[in-house]
Chains A and B, each alone.
Chain A
Amino acid sequence: MVETEQVQPVTGAEPAVRARDVTRRYGEGETAVDALRGVSLDVQSGKLTAVMGPSGSGKSTLMHILAGLDKPTAGSVEIGDTEITTLGDNELTKLRREHIGFVFQFFNLLPMLTAEENIVLPLTIAGEKPDNAFLSELLARTGLTDRRTHRPAELSGGQQQRVAIARALVSRPTIVFADEPTGNLDSKTSGEILDLMRNSVDTYGQTTVMVTHEARAAAIADRILFLADGLIVRELGANAEAGDVLAVMNELGAN
């Protein structure tokens, strides 16, 4: 294994998420696996951050921990000013309602609800009324205006993922986490979804963290973090092209 250097966190103005020395160990004793081995990073507000890495690099684990879905073995994670690693279930629920949106690889829509009902579900759950103007705008922006009464089974994969993105945006969360959002889509549809994600960052200044293993997806990000063996090993900036990303991945893969 080639020596990899630990990238220092970029300290910008008011990061949305701040992680320090996060480690995550699965199992115990001989069979223990270290998925994360001390990761520190700041997620910049209003930017699209991509987390890349080969399978088993720990990128999904990192996202789960940043989003409060999983707890680190050690280290701290703050969203806004809140340390989330010590929160109980009720506080985490509140955090998710107010600050976090999710986009999943398999869409995770509720099959019995219409597109619109799925989109406003986070508000329904929190007992809030949707802002109709914002909802119409979201529907228009995601191209779902004439699909609002359709159920997921009546929508294409791309349309379902657009419903999921609208659902993540509807409560204007502090941060959206997207887990392989194009992993289950064909190449043309993937392009449309990536445009939509980029667009939401540019239009609403929506802070977004996207985990992906596709170079093309990562290339739309403002910042690309590369994980390998549980550590952030490289970083690329906003001007990186898909080719640059591939080059880094190949390099990491060759390790």
Chain B
Amino acid sequence: MLAVALKGLAGRKLRSVLTAFAIVLGVGMVSGTFVLTDTIQRGFDTIFTQSLKNADAVVTGHQAFGSSGGQPVLSPSVPASVLAKVRAAPDVEQAAPSISDEAQLIDHDGKAIVNGGAPNIATGIDPSLTRFNPLTLVAGHWPHGADEVVIDTGTARKHHFQVGDTIGVAARGPIQKFRVAGLAKFSGVSFGGATLAIFDIPTAQKLFHKEGRYDRIDVAAKPLTPADKLVRELRSVLPPTVDVRTTSEQVKVDSSDTNTFLNIFRYILLVFGGVALFVGSFVIANTLSITIAQRTREFATLRTIGASRRQVLGAVIVEALVVGTLASLIGLFAGFGLARLLDSLLVSFGIDLPKAGLVYATRTFVVALVVGIGVALLASLRPAFRATRVPPIAAVREGAELPPGRFAWLKPYLSLAAAALGIALLAFALFKSGLGTARVLTLLGVGVLLLFAGVAGFSSRLVRPLARVLGWPAERLGGAPGRLARSNAERNPVRTASTAAALMIGVALVVFLAVLAAGMRTTFRSAVNDVFHADYAITAQNNFSPIYPSVGRAATHVPGVTVASSIRGDLGRAFGSTLQVSAVEPNVGRVMTQRWEAGSPAALSHLDGNGAIVSHSFADKHHLKLGSHFKLLTTSGRELDLVVRAIFRPLHDTPATLLGSVTISTSTFDRTFVQPKNLYTLVDTRGGASDANARRLEQVLKAFPNAKLQTKKQFVDNQLSGINTLLGLLLVLLALSIVVSIVGIVNTLVLTVYERTRELGMLRAVGMTRRQVRRMIRYESVVTALIGATLGIVLGLGLAALVTSRISFLTYAVPTAQIVGFVVAAILVGILAAILPARRASRLNVLEALQYE
């Protein structure tokens, strides 16, 4: 029986290949995601571990609280006296101080070398203490003196720098020129988009205003001294303002941000693999159902010669398992290629992360195979049970049809119930407060799956009316073939519905994302317009990285500038949770308006040492009123006792208020936060935005290549470009599922052509031309695709309505032009899917087709 199943597969090569393809892509995405994220993870791990090679303990300033949401919390630097104490400790063999900060390298055209959000690392090291140096010098020598820098080989290669060249460096102040003394790299790791500038310690201290201070001290123990003994000893002699950790603890701290980020990143990518597999399961189930219907007589014959129901069931499942296994294996290895493709995709969207050599973890193999084979198995169950219902007597009946199952009449009701349950779960997850994130996400996932499955199951009832409407243009344009195409699409509604359902899922998600993105754009634009009154804004080149305050200060002195007000930002901690803290200058009231719930606009200009402005939601959550006191922990470890001077309420309840939950004065911020940086500087000019004003500002900003001058409109557009980029990336990832559903349409059409061989022969015999046959198949394909797109658009709009009604700051905005674009894309999908089947149909030999049995 196994042999029968296997030979059956071999006899239906094209169908088996097309079915397998539905799994290959999903499994490929899963395995590719694992390979890529593992590779990135190893890249980071290598960097963090290498950075601490040969050290037994690490001394840093005390980190006030842990990082949150992937945003790092910097440790303050430590005074030089700490180094002296470390060196004096009895078990210390050697101790190497270093500086770590951030500085942009400037390319030959005067532009800052910034790759998306990748860091621009600057360090100061003592090259004579080689045992702690994680870098390998490839050319030149280590930096020595106030005008030398060593840069990473990747940046040198990409931007054509050689030893001896002059390179600009933008640290805290304007650009300074350095001589490239050497080129260095981390062995075994690519740096991704990060850049590296290495100075000697005095130079770094001067550049970053850390004279007499260090950021980190790497310590090596005397031989035979265990690391934990060393750590204990150092803790006892050092002040509590420093953290002493073993190297492995330090690696854990350093990598915790990237690990959180990588996990989120991995899950997002896996979701897209999961969607592709879900769509694939529809394709497989549908293909199997059709082939089983076509093989009714074969199964009946097997039954008459003694096969039991169980054997028939087994034969179908074995077939699915074989296809699933082969497809999963192919997908697994395709995923290795896909990992590179994904990586280039991410790089093209500005996400360039460190990578070690490709990592193939056992887990990747296991999960990819289990998921792929599991999906094939699950998808085959229903068709397999259908096959067992083929009665032996079908062997002697012409055109025997599969009897409907005992519970077939229940299907539309069950489908509706599943859809309703799905919506109920979604609503529960969205509107019930107090559920954990994990539970909300699980409920949302299950709800969406149920909703899709339910709608797909019920949609066979909708095929006829939809085909009537959507097929109408085809009928008008296509004449007889058009009319036949429409009725062909209608004649097996279940089949058309499940083919269309695969496309429906992809389209629904695409529309959902597009609506959310449109909503975000609308909200953000109006929110910024309401709050922001300046002519210009200055941000970093990548629109979001914080930049050093020197830029904002330089803008103040430009002729024609009436106000230049910088807004700083960082993380702080209050009431046991980590939150966004902003800092404003006294003149901010002239370029920014808030809607005040309590207190007056004057509070913005008169923030004193312990005054704070808090957001409505923060005040509400912690029951704060005007004059309430609360404590804020800053990154330097200082605890501020703040008094609420005003409470603002964003006009649209949007998070895009330009201000964080807590806003304090810049002077307080600069005293209590590590490495204060600006999020943006708002600039007002005499006479408003004009070429002359822009020219004067640009002239000054030339010295700060990482700064970008934008008009108010450009600022809004640039901030929104982040949303557009993200949407673009997600749409590209969803394209995978769309491809799977195209395969589904091709599959159904190929099988349909095969099934209607005799009929096609008849049509050709009575005078239908090849071109008309092709057109008939093409129109049927387009009608199917449009049914899927219509259902998907309705579902996507509905899902988005549900989500936006929950999230108050999201407007429900329908991007009509985009949706029209999706419909056109669906028509193209239909045309594309029909190419192969139409060609097969038009090439049928009329005589053979008529005799076909």
Chain A residues within CB distance 8 Å of chain B: 60, 64, 69-70, 89-90, 92-93, 96-97, 100-102, 104-106, 108, 110-113, 117, 121-122, 124-126, 167, 171, 179
Q: How far is the CB of B624 from chain A (nearest CB, A)?
A: 74
Tell me which residues from 1 to 47 in chain B have a Cβ below 8 Å from any Cβ of chain A.
1, 3-4, 7-8, 10-11
Which residue in A90, A111, A117 is a CB contact (below 8 Å) of B308?
A: A90
Q: How far is the CB of A51 from chain B (nearest CB, A)?
A: 14
| B interface, over-half SS | helix
Residues of A within 8 A of B765 (CB): none
Stretch at the interface among B68-76, B266-274, B377-385, B392-400: B392-400
A111 to B298: give the CA distance in the assembly, Å. Answer: 9
Known pairs A60-B396, A69-B391, A97-B306 / 14 extra A-B pairs, C-beta < 8 Å: A69-B392, A96-B392, A104-B395, A105-B396, A108-B298, A108-B395, A110-B4, A111-B11, A113-B7, A121-B302, A124-B3, A125-B305, A126-B306, A171-B306
Residues of B within 8 A of A89 (CB): 308-309
A179 to B392: give the CA distance in the assembly, Å. Answer: 14
A171 to B307: give the CA distance in the assembly, Å. Answer: 14
Residues of A within 8 A of B395 (CB): 69, 102, 104, 108
B305 touches A122 (CB 8 A): yes
Which residue in A104, A126, A171 is a CB contact (below 8 Å) of B396?
A: A104
User: With A112-B7, A113-B7 in contact, is A93–B303 under 8 Å at CB?
Assistant: yes
B309 touches A108 (CB 8 A): no
A110 touches B306 (CB 8 A): no
Using CB atoms, name the residue of chain B closest to A108.
B301
Which residue in A105, A121, A167, A171 is a CB contact (below 8 Å) of B4?
A: A121
A108 to B393: give the CA distance in the assembly, Å. Answer: 12
Residues of B within 8 A of A101 (CB): 305
Q: Does B556 contact A (CB under 8 A)?
A: no
5 smallest CB-CB distances across A and B, nearest first, come from A97-B306, A112-B11, A112-B7, A69-B393, A108-B301
Residues of B within 8 A of A113 (CB): 4, 7
Q: How far is the CB of A90 from chain B (nearest CB, A)?
A: 6
Residues of B within 8 A of A125 (CB): 1, 302, 305-307, 311
Tell me which residues from 292 to 308 in chain B have a Cβ below 8 Å from any Cβ of chain A.
297-298, 301-308
Q: Does B853 contact A (CB under 8 A)?
A: yes
Q: How far is the CB of B323 from chain A (nearest CB, A)?
A: 15
Using CB atoms, name the residue of chain B closest to A97.
B306
A126 to B3: give the CA distance in the assembly, Å. Answer: 14
Residues of A within 8 A of B297 (CB): 108
Which residue in B1, B301, B309, B853 is a CB contact (below 8 Å) of A124?
A: B1
Q: How far is the CB of B298 from chain A (nearest CB, A)?
A: 6
Residues of B within 8 A of A102 (CB): 304-305, 395
Q: How far is the CB of A227 from chain B (nearest CB, A)?
A: 17
A64 to B393: give the CA distance in the assembly, Å. Answer: 7
Q: List 24 A-B contacts (CB under 8 A).
A: A70-B393, A93-B303, A93-B306, A93-B308, A96-B303, A96-B306, A96-B392, A97-B306, A102-B304, A102-B305, A110-B7, A110-B8, A110-B298, A110-B301, A110-B302, A112-B4, A112-B7, A112-B8, A112-B10, A121-B4, A122-B305, A124-B1, A124-B4, A125-B302
A106 to B307: give the CA distance in the assembly, Å. Answer: 19
Using CB atoms, name the residue of chain A closest to B391.
A69
Using CB atoms, name the residue of chain B closest to A167.
B305
Residues of B within 8 A of A122 (CB): 305-306
Using CB atoms, name the residue of chain A closest to B394.
A69
Using CB atoms, name the residue of chain B closest to A122.
B305
Using CB atoms, name the residue of chain B closest to A63.
B396
A96 to B10: give the CA distance in the assembly, Å. Answer: 28
B304 touches A96 (CB 8 A): yes
Using CB atoms, name the residue of chain A closest to B301.
A108
Residues of B within 8 A of A92 (CB): 392
Using CB atoms, name the residue of chain B closest to A90.
B308
A121 to B4: give the CA distance in the assembly, Å. Answer: 9
Using CB atoms, name the residue of chain A closest to B297.
A108
A105 to B392: give the CA distance in the assembly, Å. Answer: 15
B3 touches A179 (CB 8 A): no
A104 to B23: give the CA distance in the assembly, Å. Answer: 39
A227 to B710: give the CA distance in the assembly, Å. Answer: 97
A121 to B304: give the CA distance in the assembly, Å. Answer: 11
Using CB atoms, name the residue of chain B closest to A179.
B396
Using CB atoms, name the residue of chain B closest to A171.
B306
A97 to B393: give the CA distance in the assembly, Å. Answer: 15
A142 to B311: give the CA distance in the assembly, Å. Answer: 29
Q: How far is the CB of A111 from chain B (nearest CB, A)?
A: 6
Residues of B within 8 A of A167 (CB): 305
Q: How far is the CB of A32 from chain B (nearest CB, A)?
A: 19
A108 to B4: give the CA distance in the assembly, Å. Answer: 14
B305 touches A96 (CB 8 A): yes
Residues of A within 8 A of B3 (CB): 117, 124
A124 to B297: give the CA distance in the assembly, Å. Answer: 19
Residues of B within 8 A of A179 (CB): 396
A167 to B304: give the CA distance in the assembly, Å. Answer: 12
A111 to B305: give the CA distance in the assembly, Å. Answer: 16
Q: How far is the CB of A27 from chain B (nearest CB, A)?
A: 16
Contact with A along B308-335 (1 / 0, CB 8 A): 1101000000000000000000000000
Using CB atoms, name the residue of chain A closest to B302.
A125
Residues of A within 8 A of B311 (CB): 125
B853 touches A106 (CB 8 A): yes
Residues of A within 8 A of B301 (CB): 104, 108, 110
Contact with A along B167-201 (1 / 0, CB 8 A): 00000000000000000000000000000000000
A179 to B397: give the CA distance in the assembly, Å. Answer: 11
Using CB atoms, name the residue of chain A closest to B6.
A112
Contact with A along B433-448 (1 / 0, CB 8 A): 0000000000000000
A89 to B313: give the CA distance in the assembly, Å. Answer: 14
Using CB atoms, name the residue of chain B closest to A98.
B306
A93 to B301: give the CA distance in the assembly, Å. Answer: 12
Q: How far is the CB of A71 from chain B (nearest CB, A)?
A: 10
Q: How far is the CB of A92 from chain B (nearest CB, A)?
A: 8
Residues of B within 8 A of A117 (CB): 3, 7
A125 to B396: give the CA distance in the assembly, Å. Answer: 20
Residues of A within 8 A of B309 (CB): 89-90, 93
Residues of A within 8 A of B7 (CB): 110, 112-113, 117
Using CB atoms, name the residue of chain A closest to B309.
A89
A122 to B4: give the CA distance in the assembly, Å. Answer: 12
Q: How far is the CB of A152 from chain B (nearest CB, A)?
A: 11
Residues of B within 8 A of A64 (CB): 393, 396
Q: How far is the CB of B482 from chain A (nearest CB, A)?
A: 35
Q: How far is the CB of B403 from chain A (nearest CB, A)?
A: 13
Residues of A within 8 A of B308 (CB): 89-90, 93
A112 to B314: give the CA distance in the assembly, Å. Answer: 18
Residues of A within 8 A of B396 (CB): 60, 64, 69, 104-105, 179
Determine which residue in B7, B392, B395 has the highest number of CB atoms from chain A within 10 A of its CB, and name it: B392
A93 to B305: give the CA distance in the assembly, Å. Answer: 8
